[in-house]
Amino acid sequence: MNVKALVRTVNHTLKSHNLFPENSRILVACSGGPDSMALLHLLKDIAIHRHTTYEIGVAIVDHCIRPESKEEVLWLQHQVEALGLPFYSATFDVPRLSKEQVRYQWLNEIAQSEGYDYISVAHHKDDQAESILAHIIRGSGLNGLTGMSVVQSEYAIPVVRPLLDVTKEDLLAYIGTKHISYCVDSTNEDVRY
């Protein structure tokens, strides 16, 4: 999928759910990895495609799981400052299982206090497949077949997953074409995690 096709696909996902209207304030949850860096840059491309502007902020949570995580937070801060965007970070030394809950609560607190309309996360089609498979393995039955939704409204600020219609391969091709740098999380390859 080329850059234009990817932008159109993500834009279609957002439009079909009436998301990110003109001048939206969007807080991007960003790890510095390829998926979230692609999301950050895609949102800028979509704003251009729509002939509008978005106020984008970037937030990262350091879960203290890997020794290199502090350097990655500083690297991302430098990248975000170079883009002229607001940057937010927090450090939580929490068990892996409660990581997502703590992360979403913090993102929601930041989004509310700073006046963001949406929180955007970089889950994509491959994550969706993994999520459904994990639900099936855990024995969740038919409910597990639904997977993640594009909009999650459990919190005061909606959590949006604009990339659910694109694959990891699409995102890697995008960042390669656009020469976007990113960090690699070593725990992704470690079976202990």
Over residues 66-99, the pLDDT tens digits come to 677 788 899 999 999 999 999 999 988 766 656 6
Q: Over range 48-52, report the average pLDDT.
A: 94
Within 98-148, residue ranges assigned H as helices are 99-114, 125-137
Encode 92-106 in three state secondary structure. Answer: CCCCHHHHHHHHHHH
Count how many Cα atoms sit within 13 Å of the Cα of residue 106 in the half-sphere of its side chain. Answer: 20
> What is the per-residue pLDDT across 104-131, written as a single tens digit (0 to 9) for each?
899 999 999 999 999 999 988 866 655 5
Residue 90 sits at the vertex; the CA angle it makes with 23 and 19, to the nearest 5 degrees, is 25
Note the pLDDT of residue 13.
95
Per-residue pLDDT band at 192 (split at 50, 70, 90): very low
Give 61's strand partners: 90
Q: How far is CA 102 from CA 63, 86, 133, 156, in A?
A: 10, 21, 24, 15
Q: Over range 138-148, report the average pLDDT.
A: 60
SS3 call for 189: helix
Note the pLDDT of residue 37.
96
> What is the per-residue pLDDT across 34-47, written as a single tens digit (0 to 9) for each?
999 999 999 999 99
Q: Determine the residue type at 158.
A: P
Lowest-pLDDT range of 1-15, 85-99, 140-154: 140-154
Note the pLDDT of residue 97.
53
Report how far residue 59's alpha carbon sits from residue 110's, in angstroms, rounded to the nearest whole number. 9
Does the CA dihedral 114-61-53-164 come out positive or negative?
A: negative
Mean pLDDT of the chain: 85
Report how far residue 8's alpha carbon sits from residue 128's, in angstroms, rounded to the nearest whole number. 20
In the predicted model, is pLDDT for residue 1 greater than 70?
yes
Phi, psi of 124 (to 5 degrees): -125, -175
Residues 136, 44 contacting (CB under 8 angstroms): no
> What is the per-residue pLDDT across 19-30, written as a single tens digit (0 to 9) for each?
999 999 999 999
Note the pLDDT of residue 190.
40
Q: How far is CA 120 from CA 68, 70, 144, 193, in A?
A: 24, 22, 22, 24
Residues 149, 161 contacting (CB under 8 angstroms): yes
Note the pLDDT of residue 70.
83
Q: How many CB atoms are closer than 10 A to CB 8?
A: 14
In the predicted model, is pLDDT for residue 193 greater than 50?
no
